[in-house]
Amino acid sequence: MTRFGVMRHLDVLEAAELVTTRRIGREKRHYLNPVPIRLMHDRWTSKFAEPVVGAMSAMKRHLEAPMSTFQHVYSIYIQASPERVWQAITDGSDTARYYYGTSVASTWEPGAPLAYTYPDGSIAADGVVLECSAPELLRMSFHARWDPDIEAEGPVEMAWVLEAAGGPTKLTVTTSGLREGSRTAAEFSGGIVYIVSGLKTLVESGSPVAAGATG
């Protein structure tokens, strides 16, 4: 391109205010002006970028928003002493008779692992003892392993609280950290009722509960 052609192009850019000039002695220096370039970019590309940026912003808000969780609380009165109810909760030979056929095992010291095991040795659920005060309180993390989809949702927290109520013992089981609409929430809501009712039947009558489907 000839010098004349270059100058014509610079004149066009200068008229469009994309280039600014400054004379220094006999020289005329040209400088790129980024402002109108940016304005042109925004004018032509913003309409295409806006849906993408909007979707990404919505995703960011969704992922960073506090997760909605709730507690499931179930209470029942059992015609037995707190000591007997406590044994039924922490003794694997007892849990095998009402807890979907699983035997629990742990030292029941804070920080100790625990596991509910099927007769074939596979793990139905495991966790950690968070707090233990026999025969009044057992608090644990509980991670279901019986279903890959439920396992992927992570652990919840369970608290077993025993209160002497004159003759019977009041047992309250609170499951915390359940997420709205999750598989874990759906299965625990009915599963805890089945388990605690089975515990009551076992302690009061000595008869085991018929094995049911896990959940």
Shared domain check, 43 and 73? no
The reply to whether 174 and 110 lie within a common domain is yes
Residue 124: strand, helix, or coil: strand
Residue 212 located in a structural domain: no
N residues, the chain: 215
Among 46, 64, 82, residue at a domain's last position: 64
Number of domains in the chain: 2
Answer yes or no: is 215 within a domain. Answer: no
Q: Which pLDDT value is given to residue 165?
A: 83
Whether residues 60 and 93 share a domain: the answer is no
158 located within any domain: yes
Spell 180-189 as b/e; 16+ CB within 10 A means b: eebbbbebbe
**What are the tokens at 90?**
């922490």
Torsion from C-alpha of 141, 183, 195, 131, nearest 10 degrees: 10
Per-residue pLDDT, 208: 81
Task: Encode the chain (215 residues) as per-residue pLDDT tens digits.
Answer: 555 555 566 676 677 676 777 777 767 676 676 666 666 666 666 656 555 555 666 556 545 655 689 999 999 999 999 999 999 999 999 999 999 999 999 999 999 999 999 999 999 999 999 999 999 999 999 999 999 999 999 999 999 999 998 889 999 999 999 999 999 999 998 899 999 999 999 999 998 865 443 44
Residue pair 116/125 in contact by the 8 Å Cβ criterion = yes
Q: Which residues contact residue 193 at a Cβ distance below 8 angstroms, ignoring those fewer than 6 apart?
A: 74
Q: Are residues 111 and 189 in the same domain?
A: yes
Q: Is the peptide bond before 168 cis (omega within 30 degrees of 0)?
A: no
Residue range of the domain that includes 35: 3-64
Mark whether 89 and 9 lie in a shared domain.
no
- Read off the CATH number of the domain in which 163 is found: 3.30.530.20
CA 184 remoteness from chain centre = 10
**Beta carbons within 8 Å of 19's beta carbon, 6+ residues apart:** 10, 13, 30, 31, 32, 33
Q: Is 0.85 surpassed by the pTM of this model?
A: no
Same domain, 20 and 120: no
Residues 10 and 86 in one domain: no
Quote the pLDDT of residue 133.
Answer: 98
- The span from the CA of 100 to the CA of 102, in Å, is 6
| Same domain? 124 vs 190 | yes
- Looking at the domain assignment, is residue 90 inside a domain? yes
Which has the closest alpha carbon to 139: 99, 111, 115?
111
Q: Is residue 43 classed exposed, middle or buried when 0-12, 13-18 and 19+ CB atoms within 10 A define those classes?
A: exposed
Name the domain boundary from 13, 43, 64. 64
CB-count exposure of residue 77 (10 Å: 0-12, 13-18, 19+): middle
Distance of CA 69 to the CA centre of its chain: 9
Q: Which residues pair with residue 127 across a beta bridge?
A: 114
Q: Which two tokens stand for residue 159?
A: 């608290």
Q: Whose CA is closest to 164, among 69, 50, 80?
A: 80
